[in-house]
Structure 1
Amino acid sequence: MPEITLPLRTERLVLRRFEGRDLDTFHAYHSLPETARFLPGPAKSYTKSMESVGKYANFSFDKEGDWICLAIEAADGPGLLGEVVLKWVPGRGQAEVGWTLAPEARGQGYGSEAAAAVLDLGFGELAFHRIEARLDALNTASAALCERLGMRLEARHVDKWHYKGEWATELVYAILADEWHSR
C-alpha cells in the first residue's frame, strides 16, 4: 500500500491528521446525543474523546482492518468541522467510508466534499476496487450524501443491528472505481 500524502486539499477543505488542539471541539460535538444517535456507542465522555483523538492522530494504513480518520477543517481558517474515515475491509480491494460532522458544519456540503476527497484517495492513490458506506436507515442525511456522491443503494438489511436499545435497519451504499472515475 502506498504512503498516504497528507493533508488532502479540496476547494474549501483541508483533511489532515488529528492534533491535540482538536480535542475540545471533537468532544463538544461527540458528547451530543444528536451526534451519537447514528454512531455505535453512546455520546463520548471527555476521556473517550481523548482516546479517540489520540488514536486518530497516530493511525497506520498498512493492512486489512486498518483505517484512517482525518480531521475536516476549512481551508480559509483553522477549526475542526468533523471527521471522515476510510477503513480497509477484508476482501481484495475493499474499503468503507464514513463521516461525522459538528452541528454547525452540517448542511453546507462539507461532508460531501470531504467524502469525495477520500473516495479520490481510495480509488486513486490506494487503488481500491469498491468502497461502501453502511448506515442506519433513519440517517436520511447520510443516505442523501451517499446519493450525491453517486453511490448506489445495494442492500437494505432489516433489523440488522441492535444498538441503543432498539433494532436498526442497515443500508449499504457502494461505488466501484470505474464508476467513480467515469462520473
Structure 2
Amino acid sequence: MPEIHLPIRTGRLVLRRFDGGDLDAFHAYHSLPETARFLPGPAKTFTQSMERVGRYANFVFEKEGDWVALAIEAADAPGLLGEVVLKWLPGRGQAEVGWTLAPAARGRGYGTEAANALLRLGFEELGLHRIEARLDELNGASASLCDRLGMRLEARHIDKWHYKGQWATELVYAILADEWRIGSRS
C-alpha cells in the first residue's frame, strides 16, 4: 500500500492523526448513549476512550485488518468534531468506511465531507477496488450519508446482529472505484 499523507484537507475540514489532546472531546461524545446507540458496545468509559484514542493515534496501515482512523476538525476552528475510519478488509482491494460525529457536528455535512475524503484516499491513493459501509437499518442518518456518497444498497441482512438487547438488521452499502470516479466527475 502507498503511504498515507496527513493531514488531509477538504473545503471545510482537516482530517488528521489523533493525539492526546483529543481525549476529553472524544470521551464527551463517546460517553453519550445517543452516540453509542449504533456502535458495538455501551457508551465508553473514560478508560475505554483513552485506549481508543491511543489506538487511533498510533494506527498503522500496512496489511489486511489495519485501520486508518482520523480525527475530524474544522479548518477554521481547531477542536475534535468526530472521526472517520477506513478498515482494510480481507480480499484484494476491499475496505470498509465508518464515521462517528459529536452531537454539535451532526447535520452539517461534515460526515459526508470527511467520508468522501476517505473514499478519495482509498480509491485514488491506495488503489482500492471496493469500499463498503455496514450499518444498523435504524440508523437513517448514516443511510442518508451513504446515499449522498453515491454508495448503493447491496444487502439487507435481517436480524444479523444481536446487540443492545435486541436483534438488528444490517444494511451493506458499497461503491466500486469505477463508480466513484464517474460520480466524482458529475
Shorter chain as denominator, the TM-score bin is over 0.9
CA offset digits 1:22-64 (Å, max 9, x no partner): 0000000000000000001110000000000000000000000
CA offset digits 1:63-95 (Å, max 9, x no partner): 000011100000001000000000000011000
Structure-2 residue corresponding to 1:106: 106
* SS of residue matched to 1:65: coil
User: Distance between the aligned counterparts of 2:27 and 2:82, measured in 1?
Assistant: 11
* SS of residue matched to 1:78: strand
* SS of residue matched to 2:125: coil
Q: CA deviation at 1:121?
A: 0.1
Identical aligned residues as a percent: 81
Structure-1 residue corresponding to 2:153: 153
Matched AA of 1:121: L
User: Do residues 53 (structure 1) and 43 (structure 2) align?
Assistant: no
How do residues 25-104 of structure 1 correspond to structure 2 at under 5 angstroms?
25-104=25-104
User: Distance between the aligned counterparts of 1:61 and 1:20, measured in 2?
Assistant: 20
Q: CA deviation at 1:175?
A: 0.2
CA offset digits 1:103-126 (Å, max 9, x no partner): 000000000000000000000110
Structure-2 residue corresponding to 1:20: 20
TM-score between the two structures when normalised by the length of structure 1: 1.00
How do residues 124-143 of structure 1 correspond to structure 2 at under 5 angstroms?
124-143=124-143
Structure-2 residue corresponding to 1:166: 166
Q: How many residues align?
A: 183
Structure-1 residue corresponding to 2:116: 116
Structure 1 gap ranges (5+): none
User: Distance between the aligned counterparts of 1:178 and 1:9, measured in 2?
Assistant: 23
User: Distance between the aligned counterparts of 2:140 and 2:77, measured in 1?
Assistant: 29
Matched AA of 1:34: E
TM-align CA RMSD: 0.3
Q: CA deviation at 1:138?
A: 0.2
User: Distance between the aligned counterparts of 2:171 and 2:79, measured in 1?
Assistant: 31
User: Distance between the aligned counterparts of 1:15 and 1:84, measured in 2?
Assistant: 8
Structure-1 residue corresponding to 2:10: 10
Matched AA of 2:174: A
User: Distance between the aligned counterparts of 2:3 and 2:151, measured in 1?
Assistant: 26
